[in-house]
Amino acid sequence: MMKVHEHRVELHHMLGQEMERRSLYHVALERLAQELGVTFSPDTFCLDQPHKAQAAVMDAWTVVYKNPRAHWSLYELAEKLVDLEDYFRRWRFNHVTTVERIIGFKRGTGGTSGVKYLRRMLEVELFPELWNMRGQL
């Protein structure tokens, strides 16, 4: 997705730097691991692909949710992350319906397939362990 910004060298460079930084979720997972005294595999913090749900991370969040009083700051953090994802999912839905209404099924900006791409993005989970853990509790 960065290729479309190559003509703006400064912007492309800034985006490249941003892609090398830890994500919000990485920071949250580091805090989770530190407070619970657990270690997650290095691929948990991979920067070159979207985060994929991992059993060890889900188990750690489950500890927090089973005893929120003992882990209140982590519990609150997790709830705020879930709220953020909920808001973002609603924005994605509104965005895809607006794009479909305005440009139909034409090619999208940034070289994407437009509405087809946006619909696929509706399935992307930002914080998969938090989203899926609730069904196991």
Return the structure tokens found at 70. Answer: 């003992």
Q: Provide the CATH number for the domain around residue 106.
A: 1.20.58.480
DSSP class of 107: P
Inform me whether the pLDDT recorded for 4 exceeds 70. Answer: yes
pLDDT of residue 3: 75
Range of the structural domain that residue 94 is part of: 2-136
Q: Quick one: average pLDDT of 5-25?
A: 86
Long-range CB pairs of 41-47 (<8 Å, 24+ gap) are 47/19, 47/20, 47/21, 47/22, 47/23
**Rg of the Cα atoms in the chain:** 18
- Give pLDDT tens digits for 58-106: 999 999 999 999 999 999 999 999 999 999 999 999 999 988 888 887 7
Instruction: Region of 108 please: left (phi>0), alpha (psi -120 to 50) or beta.
Output: beta
Q: Quick one: average pLDDT of 18-25?
A: 88
Contact 45, 26 (CB under 8 A): yes
